[in-house]
Structure 1
Amino acid sequence: MCFLSFFTPAYAVYDNLYLVGNATEAGWNPDAAIPMERSEAGVFSWTGTLTDYSVDQARFKFLVANRWEPSITCRCDVSGHLLVEPGVEYDLYERPTANDGYDNAFQVAVTGVYTLEVNLNTMKMVCTKQDETERENWEYVRPEIGADGEGHVFPGVCTPFGLVKLGPDCGDMNANAGWSSGGNIHGFSHLHVSGTGGGPKYGNILFQPMTGDLNLADYSSARTGERFGLDLYEVTLSKYNIGVRLTALDRAGFHEYTFPQSASSKVLIDAGSCLTLNVESQELMASGVKILSDHEIEGYSTVRGGWNLGDPYTVYFYAIFDTPADAYAVWRGTSVLTGNEVDATGTEKSGAYFEFNTTESQKIRAKVGISFISTAQARENVSGLSSWSFDEVRQAGIDRWNEVLNTVDVEGTDNDKTIFYSALYHAYLQPSDRTGENPLWQSDEPYYDDYYAIWDTFRATHPLFTLLTPSRQADMVRSMIDIYEHEGYMPDGRSGNCNGRVQGGSNSDILIADAMVKNLPGIDYEKGLAAMIKNAEVEPADPRKEGRGGVEEYNSKGYLSTATERSGSRTYEYSYCDYAIATVAGKLGQQEVYEKYLERSNNWKNLWNDNINSLGFKGFLWPKNSNGDWVNERDYNVFRRDGWEGIVYESFPWEMSFYVPHDVNGLIARCGGKETFLRRLDTYFTHVENGFDQGSYMGLFQISNEPAFLVPSLYNYVNRPDKAAEIVRKVLKNRYNISATGLPGNDDSGSMSAWYIFHAMGFFPNAGQDVYLISSPVFAHTTIRLENGNTFEIVATGASDKNIYIQSARLNGEPLDRCWLRHDEIVAGGTLEFVMGEEPSTWAFDGETPPSSPVGIDEVSPEIESPQVRIQSYSAQVGENEAAYCLFEEPEKYVKWCDNKSTEPWVIFELADVYEVDRFVFRDSKTVEGNNNVHSYRIYTSLTGADGDWEEVVNRNDEAAGNANVKDHRLAEPKAARYVKFSMELPTGENAVRIYGFDIYGHLKERVDRGALVSVGKTFLKSSGSRSFYANARHLFDGVTADTEYHWTFDKSAADRHYCIVDLEDVYKVNTFKVYDSGQIDGYNVYVATECPDLDKDNATDGNEGWTLVTSGLNKNCKSVTIEPVEARYVKLEIPSEHVEGESASVTEFEVYRSDTPTGIEATGNEDFAVYPNPVKRGESLHLVAQGLVSIYTIDGKPVWSSWVDEAATLSTDDFLPGIYLGQVNGLERNESFKLIVE
């Protein structure tokens, strides 16, 4: 049996009490024990879910600290547990040690939401079961999570991005957000920041209720019954026995004081109060108040300094009470003065007080408007509080928060939901929306302050705004651009209407790029680009305030040396900021700017030292001195952590070496490939280095500082989302909780909170790009209500603390085998489904890796080589060996296309198929002869090659372009093209243009449908010798059968066997081969293979090992042969020398046809429909077999020909320009579509 009503009170009344047990979220882990709310000395409560005893013998008890001894529980005479009934009072027992009596605990019979009330004064507990009505999202918010310890979160009251943040200022008045867990309350001020490090900011316009005599030297009070909520802050000032309740709207605070009976109840107003700290402290410069009546007052405070070392800012206020005062006065320093107005300068404070004769429990309320413009504007801001009802104002604040918190619904445990919605709340505390409150200039643009700092928030917080509230994020970007227009630089940090500080790169650049790639409207991106370029090019007067420090050195050397503080981390961050500039410039079509900054985004490599070795890995970020030499290893190491004056800010080289978010593929290559990179990540998360406290680190991983934010998600770039899931879920479980110390570090304006939010939903952004990297969703069901009206749902079947691994995924019903998403895929709405499991799976191991290296960085698009590209036509040439085919020769051969006959020389390249082209490289006489020959030129693309269908993609006319040794142009956006035109102006004073090579890069977009012909444009592998490039065997597969200058010419005596090999790129059943030659060859052999033979053996006397001979029937009299179908991917055409007449011979084209379609006819498998020949040469007849209305259109939809066809028709192609056409047959019984190629 259990003894109930038997025990004496506890040995001590404790200040804290924690709930622990496997009936709770904490489990049997004292470090995760759940703090209970303390209402008064010895009295605690908690509300949440308890699991019934039938589930794993679930039970709970209480701890007085995060350790097992002592514990407070029930006491039974056996090793058992007490099943409690709701509403029954139970005795408690303090168990001092684990050896004292039996280890008993409480249990409940039914799983549900309970309230536990514990009174250690009487040693009683009452358990009350809550009704099953669902709590609203805002009710899960606990503002105090992360307010203590290193989190520095603001726990007072405000609205999303509210100007007013009303809360207590405690202790030594040096806490970043005003509140601290220890010390007295000095009063309640109206401006604060949240989650910040460094020195504090604000703490202005402080109100303090009191009773008794006025002591201006110390009016603080101890506190009891402190309660935090999204909707109110509540506390009792025990010195005065006054109850305080606070709530707030955007620009005004609402105070409610419950006084005891007293003839000397007062409300003190301290206009000069502000938060101070020895380092980066604020300094009061002036203050003053003016009493307007027995219930009104206005005033101001001017302060400078703080974390951003800011210029002076002035805060104005207007306050009105609902009760007239019986007396009032002003004061300065420690003296009460006569009159109704007072001013003070310097550090001496000033203020006033209102005195009331109160009855027991009398409430006195005050509304306080805050402004940065004037007291008149502050009075106007009070009008937003239309009611004197505390509950009505409180509800209005809840309504504001619901606009944010209801954008996401999650289904999960109460503990996880509490962390999630509290994090979402914290993310939306800053920056501060001060639109209309800018004292520095007039503007129609939005105005935001308290960017604290973008170096922290660009990585997760701002991308969260972009996803959930994009109109807000667009306003913030507009505000940054407006600051640039009026002050010269966008902010990285800003507070008190003053820029400062810059911790690393010019990170506002990344926010503009992020907005652009995610299509945020309403932003002047042209002005934004100008602001970004200002950051990148102009050295600021104070590099800790704004801009890029050391930018002149960076731009000249491509890195920062140790002569500039934070040289390592800033070089890496500047590289990414340069990539952001390239992104915006490319989207705006500013090709020259795009190319310049894309090239600069490679600069991180200039501080990558391949010779530095650590933990079995080679290559790390490493500093250079001002002479350009690597710093000696005796003077530096990869584990060195620095601050402002060091090499790597808030990180260290082992970690910072991972920071290449725009070129992860390039980083992987530098690290030695994917397998090495994978091992390197594993080591980073597991290696324990001396001095790296594993209470703060996970191996070398420090979630408490932002440079590490992206590193867990880098596993996705090597297709190992299972490893990302392990790290992320371990951090979410062990470094976040619902206590006042429940954040892993400074929240940094919601940065730590946003990291949690994204990963709890199951993905994380790579800021500045439109990619989200999938990790492991915490919740079984997440619904995101997007601002555009769409809904995106994430369903994670089986999700739990154990089932953290994705087994399979579907996006909108279709299988998803990649571990990343595009922004557009989310905002379009839909459903992302996961099946979760307890063991790692191979999901996404073979899927497409996330996009990383942009064009022109490390993994460029491949060059499009002959036979995929050929010269279609060109303007003219000078000598016999100076034709345009020289453009395809290897650079080291120094042959050129030369034209002195045209004022605007040009050449048109034809691609065998449609490509996404994205890069052009050419070499003129500057490359070979050292002089600038071409500086005005243009490059165009086209799908048809027809006049009027060319799009200009490059246009340069400047000396800088001409002076480039190699002209390398990368397009910001790939262009679909089948034709490329290169045009230039004949240079002044020159008799000819001289071009030594022109290369086109891109990826195959779409094959031209040539019916059964499968060899055109396919991969040329190898051949025996040829006379020169224009006589190369590559031309046998370029699709040109006419006898042109492009053919394969060889000397008979050069070899016993002449051959060429083509890769058809897939296995086909082939049956027909054709040759077009000079008439001097009287015998060919054709070999095939499905697996690639050893090509080195083709040079041997008997080089046909691995090949199958399928025909020797081609000769002078038979240029086409058909055989029984045979499978082939690799085809070799062989010409024995004894079959060659004369000293040399030429072959123009070699065609291979598959057997499943009639040669030269595009068919659909129906005997009554065909289009042939296809491709057709312009001027030849086109034959149609069809029944219905046949219409032919250009690729962009313009009609070219339309007629009714009754069984068959023939039409002329004289009026068809070369290119791709689309056809449609609208028949009586069925419809058909086809593609037509005109050459």
Structure 2
Amino acid sequence: MRMHFSLQTTICLVASACGRSVAAQADYTNYVNVFMGTTGGGNRFPGVVAAPFAMVKLGPDVQSGTTDAYSGYLPSGNIWGFSMMHESGTGGAPKYGVVSQMPVVGNVSNPLADLSQGRAAADQGQIGYYKSSLTSGVTVELAAMEHAGLYQYSFPSGSSSSVVVDVSHVLPSFRGLGWEQHYSGGNFTYSSDGHYEGSGTYNNGWNLSPDWTIYFCGRFSQQPSSMKTFKGTGTTLSSYDSTPSVSGTERVGGVFTFTQTNLTSRVGISFISSSKACENLDREIQESTSLQSLMNNAKSKWNAQVLSKVQVSGASDADLQLLYSSLLGMFLIPSNRTGENPGWSSAEPYYDDSFTLWDTHRCHTALFHILEPVAYEEFIRSLIDIWRHDGFMSDARSSNYNGRVQGGSNQDNVLADAYVKGVRGAINWQDGFSAMQTDAEETPPNNHDPKAPDSSTKEGRGALPDWLKYGYITPAFTRAVSRAVEYSTNDFGLYQVASGLGNSADAQKYLTRSRNWRNHWNPAATSNNHSGFVVPRLANGSFVAQDPLGCGGCYWGDAYYEDNPWVYSLNAIHDVYTMKKFIGGDDKFVDRINKLWDLKIFNAGNEPSFTSPYLYNFVKGKQYMSVQRSRDIGKLYNSGAAGLPGNSDAGAMESNILWQMIGLYPMTGQTTFLVLSPWFPQLSIDLGNGRRLEITTTGGNKDSAYYVQSLKVNGENWTKAWVTYQDVFASGGTMEFVLGSTPADWATDDLPPSPASGDL
């Protein structure tokens, strides 16, 4: 695979050094490896995404035995189509892989047969461009706009050229968990001018969605010498002839054959209608539009909207590649589908493919807000509008359908984070709070998920009956303990917004409920010289015996989801002082965090662990330990194909390493950022409207002399191991670090706030 990098080793930041115009004109895409995180479980999508949040994600679909291709891509195996829609960095089961076409050398005798091809060379890619060379001799090059894609084919000379459009094409899952997608039916029509239209209907996938439909419209650069439609089941044809239209629940599609060996195919998609798909195509990619112009357009948009927002100097090529490749991975999804919502008519923005806020609320959405504030406000408005029309906001959503909720209603955390940081614009915050209250007070109908049949996994808080009745969650509900910890943080989010809106009664109620995680704390639970862990609790109030190092399968049917009591006992980040007290004071608290590494519990690729390494900042004199953990985590990343320590999870993993580079870490739902240690001598973040955060380091280096010796914030000596959003982001600011090779006791002032802890 090709990594398209420039030889430039630094990007100018300071005007006196090289002029701001140089920095403004830099092509940061030269540092992006689109294949970062595509192997080793990262599941990132390497294909063409023409702009942040683009609806079209055009790339290859690869089959390799019984391996799930979550983003369509696998590094080895045969390509069996190139499709218009994909997710990025998700797990569970693949979603989309629809509106596909496959080039075939020669005439096609059976379009329902396996037409897949191996690759003659490794795929190549950069922002706005993707290339596959097939063993059949066909070269496929891809480019796109937000709602349309361009396929450029080069066939071997001396044979006819065919393109098969298979409406039934959808990414499969082989895990046997009941999460595989299904094709329900479709229609396909071609016209005498060679253009075609149609739609496909699909269902299921990881979010268990019912039938949903995508429409398409395609045009070729050459008039076909032959056009046929087909219908059949499996690989058995029931019709294959020149009839210009087919439809039904059988597999349907069309085959176009050409005498030319070089041709392009333009395809538009829409969730509204095939005529809207044609409109999208004709507006975005005309017959004269070149692949190169689309590449240039994509690079321009990514540079302007995301990549140029972060500028550094003094960085190695490897770190620049990691920085800008991570920024790409952060903004591939969600998908901006404003104007493409088939569910309701609204003047509000509409975003889909939030997959999932359980993954992204811890650190992704806080950086989303800082780097893309306009889109972030739109995203918040979209969440609220989904509540207006669907009844609940979405913790996860794809194909215009909510699901699946893994823990709490973490959209509440996201709204709270936006509110306390002053995000207003066109957001109706009274509606926003009402949407949050729906999560907090209304039990969603059970969608009877086979993996967790006790309550809804579609939306809201399925275990709410226990939460309201007992103030904790009994084993009658799956994931009882991890849900309880998350419900506490969700209720803290409601407290934050209610307080800001002047609703004192609700604020007090939800602040009290935010402390209910304490009801799962069993001081008698012991493990490795530590006492006190969150454990399951029965309706009669008794605790269930629980080995804090165990969690069963750590999955849907267990008391803890994707981690164990050691980790979840440190997850009430709004109530850290109480955690410290329960654990036994500062020394025990530090040792409790240390044990995550000593006992090999900590997993940098798993979101419940994300904040734990930086809780040392809540103990005076221990900020350096957060820095050390931060640097250790940084070593697990690189910009290569296996460069992520776990599933990208819609960019959650990439946002985590970006915060390490910046030298701060967000406490979601609060204005607090914990101070770590920046990677670069100079880093500048464009905050919009002429505001910037300028971060500098002197006296040290990223790899060996990274401990904070002193810090100035906005020119003033700073002796706290935390800053607030207002300090450095609201109006911009400066942070001047002095670094060294040994720890220094510099953070002697107040500890970070623990707003739910009261007078503890």
Q: Provide the TM-score with structure 1 as the length reference.
A: 0.57
What are the within-5 Å matches in structure 2 for residues 657-672 of structure 1? 657-672=569-584
What are the within-5 Å matches in structure 2 for residues 150-169 of structure 1? 150-158=41-49, 159-169=51-61
Verify: 1:813 aligned to 2:715, yes or no.
yes
Aligned to 1:940: none
Tell me, yes or no, if the aligned pair for 1:471 and 1:520 is still in contact at 8 Å. no
Larger Rg: 1
Aligned to 1:378: 277
What are the within-5 Å matches in structure 2 for residues 387-426 of structure 1? 387-402=288-303, 403-411=305-313, 412-426=315-329
Verify: 1:255 aligned to 2:159, yes or no.
no
Aligned to 1:535: 439
1:432 to 335, 356, 366: 335
**CA shift for structure 1 position 293:** 3.2
Verify: 1:322 aligned to 2:221, yes or no.
yes
Verify: 1:342 aligned to 2:238, yes or no.
no
Shift in alpha-carbon separation, 1:112–1:662, aligned structure 2, 3 A? closer
Following the alignment from structure 1 to structure 2, what is the Cα–Cα distance between the partners of residues 678 and 595? 31
**CA shift for structure 1 position 418:** 0.7
Aligned to 1:781: 682
Verify: 1:833 aligned to 2:736, yes or no.
yes
**CA shift for structure 1 position 672:** 1.3
What are the within-5 Å matches in structure 2 for residues 688-727 of structure 1? 699-719=600-620, 720-727=622-629
- Over the aligned positions, Cα root-mean-square deviation in angstroms equals 2.0
Tell me, yes or no, if the aligned pair for 2:29 and 2:324 is still in contact at 8 Å. yes
Tell me, yes or no, if the aligned pair for 1:248 and 1:393 is still in contact at 8 Å. yes
2:478 to 554, 565, 572: 565
- Secondary structure, aligned partner of 1:810: strand
2:356 to 440, 444, 453: 453
Aligned to 2:758: 858
Following the alignment from structure 1 to structure 2, what is the Cα–Cα distance between the partners of residues 255 and 287? 22
**CA shift for structure 1 position 462:** 1.0
**CA shift for structure 1 position 853:** 2.7
Which segments of 5 or more consecutive residues in structure 1 lack a partner in the other structure? 1-36, 39-44, 51-110, 114-131, 688-698, 861-1239
Specify the code of the residue in structure 2 equivalent to 1:220. S
Name which of structure 1's ranges 660-669 and 823-832 shifts more when overlaid on structure 2: 823-832
Aligned to 2:397: 494
1:198 to 92, 104, 122: 92
1:229 to 126, 143, 156: 126
- Secondary structure, aligned partner of 1:629: coil
2:564 to 652, 655, 660: 652
Following the alignment from structure 1 to structure 2, what is the Cα–Cα distance between the partners of residues 503 and 171? 28
Specify the code of the residue in structure 1 equivalent to 2:515. N
Tell me, yes or no, if the aligned pair for 2:61 and 2:97 is still in contact at 8 Å. yes
**CA shift for structure 1 position 388:** 2.0
Tell me, yes or no, if the aligned pair for 1:537 and 1:552 is still in contact at 8 Å. no
**CA shift for structure 1 position 47:** 6.0
- Secondary structure, aligned partner of 1:293: coil
Shift in alpha-carbon separation, 1:632–1:228, aligned structure 2, 3 A? same
Following the alignment from structure 1 to structure 2, what is the Cα–Cα distance between the partners of residues 859 and 747? 39
**CA shift for structure 1 position 727:** 0.9
**CA shift for structure 1 position 810:** 0.9
**CA shift for structure 1 position 262:** 3.6
What are the within-5 Å matches in structure 2 for residues 862-873 of structure 1? none
Following the alignment from structure 2 to structure 1, what is the Cα–Cα distance between the partners of residues 465 and 117? 54
Tell me, yes or no, if the aligned pair for 1:658 and 1:711 is still in contact at 8 Å. yes
Shift in alpha-carbon separation, 1:765–1:641, aligned structure 2, 3 A? farther
Following the alignment from structure 1 to structure 2, what is the Cα–Cα distance between the partners of residues 672 and 548? 32
Following the alignment from structure 1 to structure 2, what is the Cα–Cα distance between the partners of residues 852 and 410? 33
Aligned to 1:26: none
Specify the code of the residue in structure 2 equivalent to 1:819. A
Verify: 1:243 aligned to 2:139, yes or no.
yes
What are the within-5 Å matches in structure 2 for residues 16-55 of structure 1? 37=1
Aligned to 1:609: 522
Aligned to 2:534: 621
**CA shift for structure 1 position 551:** 0.6
Following the alignment from structure 2 to structure 1, what is the Cα–Cα distance between the partners of residues 648 and 257? 40
Tell me, yes or no, if the aligned pair for 1:295 and 1:322 is still in contact at 8 Å. no
Deviations 1:844-887 (A, max 9, x none): 1x122111134xx3326xxxxxxxxxxxxxxxxxxxxxxxxxxx
Following the alignment from structure 1 to structure 2, what is the Cα–Cα distance between the partners of residues 264 and 539? 60
- Secondary structure, aligned partner of 1:406: helix
- Secondary structure, aligned partner of 2:497: helix
1:822 to 716, 724, 727: 724
**CA shift for structure 1 position 626:** 3.1
Following the alignment from structure 1 to structure 2, what is the Cα–Cα distance between the partners of residues 324 and 837? 68
Verify: 1:363 aligned to 2:275, yes or no.
no
- Secondary structure, aligned partner of 2:227: strand
Aligned to 2:460: 547
Tell me, yes or no, if the aligned pair for 2:549 and 2:566 is still in contact at 8 Å. no
**CA shift for structure 1 position 268:** 1.3
Following the alignment from structure 1 to structure 2, what is the Cα–Cα distance between the partners of residues 788 and 558? 45
Specify the code of the residue in structure 2 equivalent to 1:771. T
Aligned to 1:575: 488
Verify: 1:504 aligned to 2:407, yes or no.
yes
- Secondary structure, aligned partner of 1:666: helix
Higher relative contact order (CA 8 A, sep 6+): 2
Following the alignment from structure 1 to structure 2, what is the Cα–Cα distance between the partners of residues 167 and 269? 15
Which segments of 5 or more consecutive residues in structure 2 lack a partner in the other structure? 12-22, 447-455
Tell me, yes or no, if the aligned pair for 1:666 and 1:853 is still in contact at 8 Å. no
What are the within-5 Å matches in structure 2 for residues 731-1130 of structure 1? 731-733=633-635, 735-797=636-698, 798-827=700-729, 828-844=731-747, 846-854=748-756, 857-859=757-759
Following the alignment from structure 2 to structure 1, what is the Cα–Cα distance between the partners of residues 360 and 753? 23
Specify the code of the residue in structure 1 equivalent to 2:32. V
Verify: 1:143 aligned to 2:34, yes or no.
yes
What are the within-5 Å matches in structure 2 for residues 63-142 of structure 1? 136-142=27-33
Following the alignment from structure 1 to structure 2, what is the Cα–Cα distance between the partners of residues 304 and 823? 42
| Count, aligned residues | 718
Deviations 1:672-692 (A, max 9, x none): 1112211211222222xxxxx
Verify: 1:179 aligned to 2:70, yes or no.
no
Following the alignment from structure 1 to structure 2, what is the Cα–Cα distance between the partners of residues 263 and 498? 45
Deviations 1:411-453 (A, max 9, x none): 2111111111111101101111000100011001111111101
Tell me, yes or no, if the aligned pair for 2:552 and 2:558 is still in contact at 8 Å. no
Name which of structure 1's ranges 141-150 and 161-170 shifts more when overlaid on structure 2: 141-150
**CA shift for structure 1 position 303:** 0.2
Following the alignment from structure 1 to structure 2, what is the Cα–Cα distance between the partners of residues 47 and 254? 24
Following the alignment from structure 1 to structure 2, what is the Cα–Cα distance between the partners of residues 134 and 467? 22
Following the alignment from structure 1 to structure 2, what is the Cα–Cα distance between the partners of residues 636 and 710? 19
**Higher-strand-fraction structure:** 1
Tell me, yes or no, if the aligned pair for 2:548 and 2:565 is still in contact at 8 Å. no
**CA shift for structure 1 position 310:** 0.8
Specify the code of the residue in structure 2 equivalent to 1:742. G
Following the alignment from structure 1 to structure 2, what is the Cα–Cα distance between the partners of residues 453 and 551? 20
Specify the code of the residue in structure 1 equivalent to 2:358. W
Aligned to 1:1062: none
2:106 to 181, 187, 212: 212
Q: Which runs of 4+ in 1 moved over 3 A?
A: 45-50, 132-135, 635-641
Tell me, yes or no, if the aligned pair for 1:662 and 1:852 is still in contact at 8 Å. yes
Name which of structure 1's ranges 675-684 and 191-200 shifts more when overlaid on structure 2: 675-684
Tell me, yes or no, if the aligned pair for 2:149 and 2:268 is still in contact at 8 Å. yes
Shift in alpha-carbon separation, 1:625–1:112, aligned structure 2, 3 A? closer
Specify the code of the residue in structure 1 equivalent to 2:434. A
**CA shift for structure 1 position 405:** 0.9
Specify the code of the residue in structure 2 equivalent to 1:136. D
Deviations 1:762-813 (A, max 9, x none): 1111111111111121122111011232111111223221122111111122
Specify the code of the residue in structure 2 equivalent to 1:741. A
Specify the code of the residue in structure 2 equivalent to 1:680. R
